[in-house]
Structure 1
């Protein structure tokens, strides 16, 4: 079966509601391709590797979390930007990108899908635009220590975890968890204020190590890409099923 570009865009907009968010770049159709859409490829980032893989799979549209255009870019079509755009335009492929709307969606979003993978249940939100999630283990238990939590997360995500725990204080059980995928290290203070025992995100910057040690709240940096592998295929799979499209998720490895 096939549909058209307009219906695909409307389906993603209806699902992810981008108008609700103040974002760092445009959400929706970033590059216009052919009108007819039969096959949809999803991925995390609109890298050249993903675009080339989508071309090889004869995709009509690509859906990603990290698109091509961001606030602060100079707008010049040179270097890597030229190469990516040239491939999309030469092969008449649509590129759709949703950043914060994909993080936040209560079922298909990155935070929701990460929670499913890790066996967590959300009970509230925190931080700017309510993008941070807070909750507990779905089975109602607790992790016996920050180290046990880090081991669990690393095994599930198959990615190294950087753990900064509470200085020289004895390890304590971790029951109240906060999380926000990707580069959300700036949400750590809000997670502490929300009463978290530990905060899970993708990256760590220099200040967060000190906050963790001084405040007694564990910080886990689990990989930007590793924590955001799950929202794109969930959202794209939902829309593909709704419109009767073929869908394929292509995971381009990224150690970050």
Structure 2
């Protein structure tokens, strides 16, 4: 498939034009025009780029790419080495950030809900059909320890738990994968019993305790492995692309 045709397919499916983001979405580094093999991963680290070269990939498709708002603009050091490796090997780099978080099928939020068995009910942001933070309900109420165990079993890591002082069980859950910890206040205002995100900030502790909801920090990488993997599987199924997901370990 032509590299620009692949970008058009991904843009049509993920609709990045409908959401304001912190980085460019789509083809970030242009490589060879013909794509036969794609490697997917969470972040376009040097380790993932090296793995793609070893696999003989023509393209790398990630959730976290390059050229973030506010980062230094010169292409030097770590950024230079990564881009140099892509260019020298003719590898195209595609990245989709918030459009992948919010997609109703392959998105990180949707995939996490399926993994945990949560019935997704809607967005936490009123009037926003592409809300970055969402909420849903567990089929059966769980205690905080039972919900922590569920997260550990499904994600392969023990979550950070901040006790909100509730006496009841968890039924209504709000979540935002990755660095979505500051949506905890919105979740509290919507009457959630618990909130899950990938990262945690110092202020998150007091928001949870003072607003009476449990908080679970489940890991940025751990909560965002599943969207990019699902996107690759969609490309394989619907467009007959050769796609390999490579999970570069990240404890954060």
Q: Which interval holds the TM-score relative to the shorter structure?
A: over 0.9
Question: Which residue of the partner structure matches residue 141 of structure 1?
Answer: 140
Is this contact kept in 1: 2:149–2:158, CA < 8 A?
Answer: no
- Where do 1:11-30 residues align within 5 Å? 11-30=9-28
Secondary structure (helix, strand or coil) at the match of 1:23 reads: coil
- Cα deviation digits, residues 87-146 of structure 1 (max 9, x gap): 000000000000000000001000011111111111110137511110112xx2111x21
3-state secondary structure, aligned to 2:123: strand
Equivalent pairs counted in the alignment come to: 249
Corresponding residue number in structure 2 for 1:163: 161
Question: In the alignment, which residue of structure 2 is the partner of 1:89?
Answer: 87
**Distance in 2 of aligned mates of 1:193 and 1:29:** 38
Q: Following the alignment from structure 2 to structure 1, what is the Cα–Cα distance between the partners of residues 243 and 171?
A: 37
Offset of 1:195 from its aligned partner? 1.4
Q: Is the 8 A contact 1:147 1:163 kept in 2?
A: no
Q: Give 1:180-195 correspondences, 5 Å limit.
A: 180-195=176-191
What corresponds to 1:63 in structure 2?
61
Contact 1:166/1:215 (<8 A) preserved: yes
What CA RMSD, in Å, does the superposition of the two structures yield over aligned residues? Answer: 1.1
Could you tell me whether the CA contact under 8 Å between 1:142 and 1:174 is conserved in 2?
yes
TM-superposed CA distance for 1:160, in Å, is 2.1
Please show how residues 1-256 of structure 1 align to structure 2 within 5 Å: 3-127=1-125, 130-137=131-138, 140-143=139-142, 145-167=143-165, 171-256=167-252
The Cα of 1:240 is off from its aligned counterpart by: 2.9
Deviation string 1:45-86 (CA, Å, 9 cap, x unpaired) is 000000000111111111000001100012111111011001
Give, in angstroms, the shift of residue 150 of structure 1: 1.0
Q: Which runs of 5+ in 1 are unaligned?
A: none
Q: Is the 8 A contact 1:157 1:227 kept in 2?
A: yes
2:19–2:99 contact (8 Å) kept in structure 1: yes
Q: Secondary structure of the residue that 2:99 maps to in structure 1?
A: helix
State the TM-score, normalizing by the size of structure 2: 0.96
Contact residue 180 and residue 200 of structure 1 kept, 8 A: yes
Unaligned runs of 5+ in 2: none
The two structures have a TM-score, normalised by structure 1, of 0.95
Give runs of ≥4 in structure 1 deviating > 4 Å. Answer: none
